[in-house]
A and B are shown apart, each in its own frame.
Chain A
Amino acid sequence: MAEVHLEKVVKKYGSLEVVHGIDLDIAHNEFVVLVGPSGCGKSTTLRMIAGLEGISGGNIWIGDRVVNDLPPRARNISMVFQNYALYPHMSVRENLGFSLKIAGKSAAEIDAAVDEAANILSLTPLMDRKPGALSGGQRQRVAMGRAIVRHPDVFLFDEPLSNLDAKLRTQMRVEIKKLHRKIKTTIIYVTHDQVEAMTLADRIVIMRNGHIEQQGTPLDVFTNPVNTFVATFIGSPPMNLIDGVVKAGKVVFSDGTSLPIPTRYHADEGQRVQFGIRADNIMPVGHALPPEDHMAELDMTVSISEPLGTETILFGEISGTEIQAKMFNPRPVEAGETMKFQITLDKCHLFDAESGRALRDA
């Protein structure tokens, strides 16, 4: 039972400030994912919550306690590390029971708790093995078992899936989500993988250069990005951004083509803007998802196509900017073929070219 609050938390290394006074409120039992490119301060933030890094300013609360100067052991948290950090000289059973042993629990209590965790994570057949004799996925599960065995207030995950292959990663992602359902504890999860962030989080916190750029539900940050950074970071393939100027209610691109200003957005005459379209919202006519309102159309020559089975990614150009579009119910496409594309204006975005901010109506 614990909320986590960060209040103007700052981290400095000497004169270099890497986290610039971030505020974050995490509710009890919430699954929050900190996501961002490497060097954005997400891992540092997590390590400050864990107590592995001191804070240079601000306050951190876990539950109703300020934990700024408490050592990690006094914070009642547990953490899963990127490289698992299992104790190589101990068996799986000893690894799981280590924290309880340190806490001075009786052998019977330790056994009960360890067996419970082993059951939850299907580790029972592996209990006597050393970490060296486990596969990557099994080590990952042991690391999670070690974290849940002591019923902490908060779970911290530091890029726990980045060492697994793609298939195992998908599998473990589901396991982590199930685990959260079962154990009902606050989870703070750090990743650079936006797919992980989208699939796991109750709330995504997108960080860049030590600042929080945006936070919200996965769907919210996907559909309403506040700036071009969030727009291109979340979603795969990344959002297409085309430079243009607003003229007579339209966005005119450098090659003379134009598109209407997307609904929900507002820009001044003559303003330099970036027009944002996700690949899912620019589709060849006849190969689109069911029609929606506010369509626009334009012609584009396809340079490369990437068939993915259910859909094909088409690469083309609009006024010198490379565009990725999605073709549903695909047919083979020759390079150099010119196709008519339909654009769902309802789902397009408009950003100020200078600041990168979304020009959404208030």
Chain B
Amino acid sequence: MDENRSHRLQANALKIAHLLTLFVAMMIICTPGLWIVLNSFRPTVEIMAKPPVWIPNELNLDHYRAMFGGIGEGGVPVLTYFRNSLIISVTSTIIALLVGMAGGYAFARYRFRGKSAIFIGLMVTRAVPGVALSLPLFIVYARIGIIDTHFGMIITYVAMNVPFTVWLIDGFFRQVPKELAEAAEIDGCTRWQAFWKVEFPVAKAGIASAGIFAFLTSWNEYALASQLTRSVTSKTMPVGLLDFTSEFTLNWGGMCALAVLMIIPALILTFLVQKHLIAGLTFGGVKG
């Protein structure tokens, strides 16, 4: 009996340790984000206080009010930045998904000369740090006159995202059994119908997750955007954060408020698409 009791105690202790570790890990992950949200509602004095004030004394919307206010009152063109970010991220994501689907499908289904070399080549492009490309990109873009345009940013992000979407979508199409398309063809579909009516819906969850990654990459990207955009016509929200820095001061509260506005659409999108990310959609069609 004693042996059983000690094993039971040991199991309980392990469970508690497990929960504690998870809590600490989640704290480490969540604290910076929560700190940003909290700071966006606090007066600057409290943000800058040393030692830090952990429990806020006062919460208000001053930073948000100022941000949407006039130029002289610390306002920034938030809506324009938001629109720029949205146009650039959504367009580049759609293009990256279309290319990624075509490429991923080809890599998953067809055999062709140089297949692995091309695939590895695509992956290697991911190894190049984005910032290293900023200067050459700047020079090329300046020459052809697409600095500070939506178009320039869109093709930059498409180039950044395509290798990743191809890789991810290739993996998802590999999981869709070839026989599904064959069965559809025997059932009367053309090759194209078999793809859209059977293979695409089955791989939809994977394609959605590739879409989220591509969108978030473009939405959050700062390094390249800060070089390739100049004015409100194309500046994205991350670059907009820089508007809160001036020669001698940093408006932390304003920055936090803009950061919160940036996080919200990304969160909403992730929650929306999450429903489609339910794993196991492909199970059951073939033997279980």
Contact = CB atoms under 8 A, between A and B. Distances in A.
The bracket for how many chain A residues form the interface is 20 to 34
Interface string A85-120: 111110000000011001100000000000000000
Interface in A331-358: none
Contact of B182 (A72, A86, A99, A150): A72
A136 B288 contact: yes
B187 A146 contact: yes
A79 B180 CA distance: 12
Contact of A102 (B187, B281, B286): B187
Contact of B186 (A72, A132, A139): A72
B188 interface: yes
Interface string B171-198: 0000001011011111111100100011
B280 interface: yes
A73 B190 contact: yes
A51 B188 CA distance: 12
A133 interface: yes
Nearest to B176: A88
A84 B286 contact: yes
Contacts of A52: 182, 185-186
B237 to A, nearest CB: 36
A133 to B, nearest CB: 7
Contact of A88 (B182, B184, B193, B283): B283
B67 interface: no
Nearest to B190: A73
A130 B284 CA distance: 8
Looking at B189, B190, B282, B287, the one whose CB has the most chain A CB atoms below 10 A away is: B287
B132 to A, nearest CB: 43
A102 B287 contact: no
A71 B182 CA distance: 11
Nearest to B283: A132
A50 interface: yes
Contacts of B288: 132, 136, 139
A328 interface: no
B285 A72 contact: no
A321 interface: no
A131 interface: yes
A73 B284 contact: no
A99 B184 CA distance: 8
Most chain A Cβ neighbours within 10 Å, of B177, B182, B284, B288: B284
B78 interface: no
A124 interface: no
B201 interface: yes
Nearest to B193: A102
Contact of B188 (A82, A85, A88, A99): A99
A209 interface: no
A44 interface: no
B202 interface: yes
A86 B188 CA distance: 15
A77 B186 CA distance: 7
Nearest to A88: B285
A192 to B, nearest CB: 16
Contacts of B282: 88
9 contacts: A52-B186, A73-B187, A82-B287, A83-B177, A85-B180, A86-B183, A99-B187, A132-B284, A146-B187
Interface of A: 50-52, 71-73, 77-79, 81-89, 98-99, 102-103, 130-134, 136, 139, 146, 150, 163
Given A88-B283, A102-B189, 16 more contacts: A50-B182, A52-B185, A73-B189, A81-B183, A83-B287, A85-B179, A85-B180, A85-B183, A88-B180, A88-B282, A98-B184, A102-B188, A131-B284, A132-B283, A139-B284, A146-B183
